[in-house]
Chains A and B, each alone.
Chain A
Amino acid sequence: MGPMFDGPEPIYLQIAQMIRAQVLAGELAEEEQVMSTTQFATTFRINPATAAKAFAGLVDEGVLYKRRGLGMFVAPGAREKLLADHRARFFDEVLAPALAQADLLDIPTSEVVDYVLGRPRPAGPGTGGAPRTGPTTDPTPR
């Protein structure tokens, strides 16, 4: 496996983030089994305890749950929960810094509003048709 989890945060946080992103994107469906700590460890050449630490955090968050003797599974409602979490943080963590930056650059509020209103509308609710504005697929701001 090529270089993975080489971001600045502790590896267990990066693993948790990757799983959250996969659940949000629907790549990991609810009730679907996630890789075991052993598979994680061997695939990414990390200590199994590091993967276990990531899983423990996701269980606490209600994203994963453990089936005794079988492994870790995506919790029912996990995607909806993550969507709600990210929506709640969107204004504070994404929009507020962007607007602060606009202020700094002397972009008038009216221009920002025009941009928002003029942007292509999503085809329908929940289809995620809005164009991405950055290269990141990570929905959580750092």
Chain B
Amino acid sequence: MTARPASRPTDPTGPALPGPEPFAAEVRDVVVRYARGDDAPALDHATLTIRPGVITGLLGRNGAGKTTLAALLAAFRRPTSGSVRVGLPGELEDPFENVWTTTHTQLVRESGDVWESDKARDTLAYYADLRPRWDADLAARLLDELEVDVRRKPSEMSRGKRSALGAVIGLASRAPLTIFDEVYLGMDAPSRYAFYDALVADYAEHPRTVLLSSHLITEVERLFEDVVIIDRGRVLLAENADDVRARGVSLTGPADVVERHAAGREVLARQRLGGTAQVTLFGTFADDERAAAVEAGLEVGAVPVQDLFVHLTRTGRPGAGTDAEREEAR
């Protein structure tokens, strides 16, 4: 190990300290290939920044590279090429085999990251030792609320209870970088909402960097301050959630007026009820266009992130990682 600056705790398992500030992360031109000569790398020249102290939504279809990205940040693996850096803003470092950054990074994968054949309380004791800012009271409260019996082995639990156990570990760790990779799988709606509520409440009291990947976009999009969308290993966008929403616009009003203002634009969805129509358009609406639509009596609204996500990652969409573009990138 190299020498550490004095400002850091020398013993990461020592007494609970106020702990470091929220972590930032930077991924630069990262390629991950699981097999030599693999022509569809898991990450394909991915570049993005995770802002410190922000809840970022990580969205992508199955196989898009979300789990690979999470594994890189948590130092579970190394990129084939490119750089991954994690840590305090301005002091980012390579997380791989880095005790300090990995001590302060908690990844919870869909499996819950637990020992299947040990009692849940043993897994909890392990994380309580590992994470300097572990909050046992919070863990106990959440386990009770999500009805997880810590005397049982995860292998004997339902999928939902194993996921809930993972969610509790993620929250109670209070790690400066906390990554939930589809942690909700198998959790029923009341449990998922209990998790979201606990996340918002604890994040508000103890700000930290949270990366949350989910397919249930409509459930979680209001939790996001930033959004990253990846598709077939490539970063389609990484920006503020309000900017993502501003990439589309919905127009509602008399059908003929709506169609007049939608003319020449990319229409994502069109609904009609009698004389009233609503269209969802892709592309930003300039202030004067917005003013003109309002003037004409239309209601101008934001577009759910879900709709934009579906559009951006639709198979074969030009610009969303077509074969021709992939060839070009080589």
Contact = CB atoms under 8 A, between A and B. Distances in A.
Interface of A: 7-12, 37-38, 41-42, 44-50, 97, 142
A112 B200 CA distance: 51
Given A38-B201, A42-B204, A47-B200, A10 B242 contact: yes
Interface in B84-135: none
Contact of A8 (B223, B225, B252): B252
Contacts of B224: 47
Nearest to A13: B302
B137 interface: no
A7 B301 contact: yes
B294 interface: yes
Contacts of B297: 97
B30 interface: no
A93 to B, nearest CB: 10
A8 B197 contact: no
Contacts of B250: 8
29 contacts: A7-B301, A8-B250, A8-B299, A8-B300, A10-B242, A10-B245, A10-B302, A37-B204, A38-B204, A38-B205, A42-B201, A42-B204, A44-B222, A45-B193, A45-B197, A45-B200, A45-B223, A46-B223, A47-B222, A47-B223, A47-B225, A48-B203, A49-B54, A49-B225, A50-B222, A50-B225, A97-B297, A142-B294, A142-B299
A8 B253 CA distance: 13
5 smallest CB-CB distances across A and B, nearest first, come from: A8-B301, A38-B204, A48-B204, A46-B222, A42-B201
A38 B250 CA distance: 30
Interface in B238-292: 241-242, 245, 250, 252
Interface residues of B, number: 25
Contacts of B200: 41-42, 45-48
Contacts of A11: 222
A45 B55 CA distance: 13
Contacts of A44: 222
B196 interface: yes
A129 to B, nearest CB: 30
B77 to A, nearest CB: 30
Contact of B302 (A8, A46, A47): A8
Nearest to A49: B225
Interface string B177-208: 00000000000000001001100110111000
A89 to B, nearest CB: 13
Interface in B283-323: 294, 297, 299-302
A41 B299 CA distance: 27
A9 B55 CA distance: 21
B200 to A, nearest CB: 5
Interface in B128-175: none
Given A8-B250, A47-B224, 13 more contacts: A8-B299, A8-B300, A9-B301, A10-B242, A10-B302, A12-B242, A41-B201, A42-B201, A45-B196, A49-B225, A50-B225, A142-B294, A142-B299
A10 B224 CA distance: 13
**In this complex, which of A9, A45, A47 has the most chain B Cβ atoms within 10 angstroms of its Cβ?**
A47
A107 to B, nearest CB: 17
Contacts of B299: 8, 142
B55 A47 contact: yes
Contact of B222 (A7, A38, A42, A45): A45
A55 to B, nearest CB: 14
Nearest to A53: B242
Contacts of A97: 297
Nearest to A39: B204
Contacts of A9: 301-302
Nearest to A5: B222
A41 B202 CA distance: 11
A141 to B, nearest CB: 9
Nearest to A44: B222
A57 to B, nearest CB: 13
Contacts of B242: 10, 12
Contacts of A12: 242
Nearest to B57: A47
Contacts of B252: 8
B222 to A, nearest CB: 5
Contacts of A142: 294, 299
